[in-house]
Chains A and B, each alone.
Chain A
Amino acid sequence: MDDIYDSGNWVQLAENKPGVKILARIPSGNNDTGTAYFKYPSSPDVGPIAANEFIASKLAEKLGLPINKTLFKEFESVKGVLVNNTPGEANIWRQYPFKKDIERTLHNAEGLSRVVVFDVFILNTDRNPDNFVYTRLNKGKYEFYLIDHAHSLHGPSQQALDYNAFNFSSMVQIEEFKKIFEKGFDHFRPHIEDIQNIEDPEIVDIVNSVPSDYLTDAQKNTVKDLLINRKGMLYNKFETFCSSPTW
C-alpha cells in the first residue's frame, strides 16, 4: 500500500486557489527538486476529489494514456492528492497555438480519440480546454497529457450519481474532440475494446486500493458499479451516438 502515498518532503511554493496548492519538493536521496499540485477538498460539497484523481490516474496508466504520477499525500495535516508536474512548460489546451494544424504539430494526436472514450468511461464532465494540457517535446512538436479528474467518477458528494448517464455534450466539451466524431464509430472502436479488456477484478483492485480516509466502503461500491456498468455500455452508447452526433 505504501506506493500509493508520497513520502517526500514538500514546502508550499504558492497558493493557487481554494483546494489547490503548488508545492516544491525538498531534495533527498534520489529525489530531485520538482513541483506538484496538491489538491484537497476545500469544502465537504466537492466530494472525494482525491480518490477520483487517484482512480482516474490508475486507469489512465493502465490504458497507456499520458498522465502525471498521482499519489495520496497528507500536507500540513490535510489529506489530499499530489499530482506531479511534468518537467518543462505545460499550458492549457485553450492556449494551444496550432489548433488548425494538430495532426502535424501534436505528436500524440491520434490519442485524442482515446481520451474521448476514456472520459465517457469515467463520467468525466469537466474536460474543458482548461483541463487538458500540452507540453513542448522539441522544436515545433508538442504532446498532450491529462489533468484534473476531480469531477469524474464519484463526483461531488451531493450529486445524485447516475452511472447510466451518457450525455455526450457534458463529457465532450473540447471542440477538437467533437470533430473526431465526424470520423465515425469505427474510429473509436479499438479504444472501446481496450477499456472493455480491463477485467472487472482489476477495476475492483484499483478502487479497493484507495484508503478508507479518502473513500468510504459505500462510495467504493458506487465507483466500482459505475465503472463496471459503463464499461459494458460503452460500445452501444458510442455506436448509437456516432450514428447521429448532436451537440
Chain B
Amino acid sequence: MKYSIVQYNIREAFQEKKIPIGVIVQSEEGIFYKFDNSEEKFSLIKSSFLGADKGTFENFEKTFEENFIKVDQISISDDNGNQILISKNDPQFLDYLNGTYQSTYTYSKPTPLEGSDPKNYLDLIYNQQVLHNVA
C-alpha cells in the first residue's frame, strides 16, 4: 500500500510552492482518492497565484476519474517518445503519475504505507496533509 499527494504547483518569484489538493491511496483492494475542491482551497491557491483556473480546479476529480479510473488503460509517452500503456491496477501506477505529470498539477513520489485499511489511511492522510497543510 502506498499513497501520493496531489499538489497544485505555483512557480514564480524564484520559488516553487506546492499546495496539497488531494490524496490517492493504492492498495491491493484498489485505488482510493479524495480531493478538496472547496471554495476555501481555491481561494488559498488564488491568494498565491491570481491566474489559477477555477474550471480546471473544480473539475479535477472528474477529469482524474475520466482519465485514469474509468478507463482500462491510458497511453503515455516515455522520455524517448515511446508509448507506454498504464492502468490504475498497475503496481507502478502512482510512480507513473509522479514521473509523467510535472506541470500545474503534480503527484508526489509515492510513500509506502503499512497496514490493511486503505480507506482509513485515506481519511487520515487527507485530514493531515490536505486540509491542514500547505507544503
The contact of B77 among A14, A20, A87, A126, by CB within 8 Å, is A126
CB<8 Å pairs between A and B, sample of 30: A13-B11, A17-B79, A20-B102, A22-B11, A24-B13, A33-B12, A33-B13, A35-B12, A46-B79, A89-B49, A89-B52, A90-B103, A91-B104, A92-B103, A94-B63, A95-B63, A97-B56, A97-B58, A97-B59, A125-B81, A128-B76, A128-B77, A128-B83, A130-B77, A130-B101, A135-B53, A150-B81, A151-B81, A156-B80, A156-B81
CA distance A33 to B102 in the complex (A): 21
Pairs of residues from A and B, 10 with the lowest C-beta to C-beta distance, nearest first: A151-B81, A97-B59, A88-B51, A136-B53, A126-B81, A16-B102, A95-B63, A89-B53, A24-B14, A89-B51
Bound state CA distance, A89 and B51, in angstroms?
6
| Chain B nearest Cβ from A68, distance in angstroms | 13
A-facing residues in B13-29 (Cβ within 8 Å): 13-16
> Closest chain B residue to A133 by CB distance?
B103
| B55 at interface, CB cutoff 8 A | yes
Query: Quick check: A128 and B15 within 8 Å, CB to CB?
Result: no
Cβ contact of A95, chosen from B13, B15, B16, B56, cutoff 8 A: B56
Question: In this assembly, does B30 line the interface, its C-beta being within 8 Å of a C-beta of chain A?
Answer: no
Whether, in the assembled complex, A11 has its beta carbon less than 8 Å from a beta carbon of chain B, the answer is yes
Q: Whole-angstrom distance between the alpha carbons of A88 and B103 in the complex?
A: 12
Interface size counted on chain B using CB atoms at 8 A: 32
A-to-B contact residues, CB < 8 Å? 11, 13-14, 16-20, 22, 24, 33, 35, 42, 45-46, 87-92, 94-98, 125-126, 128-131, 135-136, 140, 142, 150-151, 155-156, 173
A173–B81 CB distance below 8 A? no
Give, as a whole number of angstroms, the nearest-CB distance from B97 to chain A.
11
Q: Which residues of B contact A (CB under 8 A)?
A: 11-16, 49, 51-53, 55-56, 58-60, 62-63, 67, 75-77, 79-81, 83, 99-105
Within the complex, the shortest CB–CB distance from B83 to chain A, in Å, comes to 8
In angstroms, Cα B105 to Cα A90, docked, is 10
**CB <8 Å contact, B75 and A128:** yes
CA gap between A45 and B52 in the complex, in Å: 37
Instruction: Tell me how far the C-beta of B52 lies from the nearest C-beta in chain A, rounded to whole angstroms.
Output: 6
Residue numbers in A under 8 Å from B16 (CB-CB): 13-14, 22
Residue of chain B at shortest CB distance from A34: B12
Q: Which residues of A contact B105 (CB under 8 A)?
A: 91, 95
Min CB–CB distance A147 → chain B (angstroms): 9
B71 CB to closest chain A CB, in angstroms? 11
Given contacts A94-B63, A140-B55, contact A45 B80 (CB under 8 A): yes
Chain B residue at smallest Cβ distance from A24: B14
Please name the residue on chain A nearest to B52 by beta carbon: A89
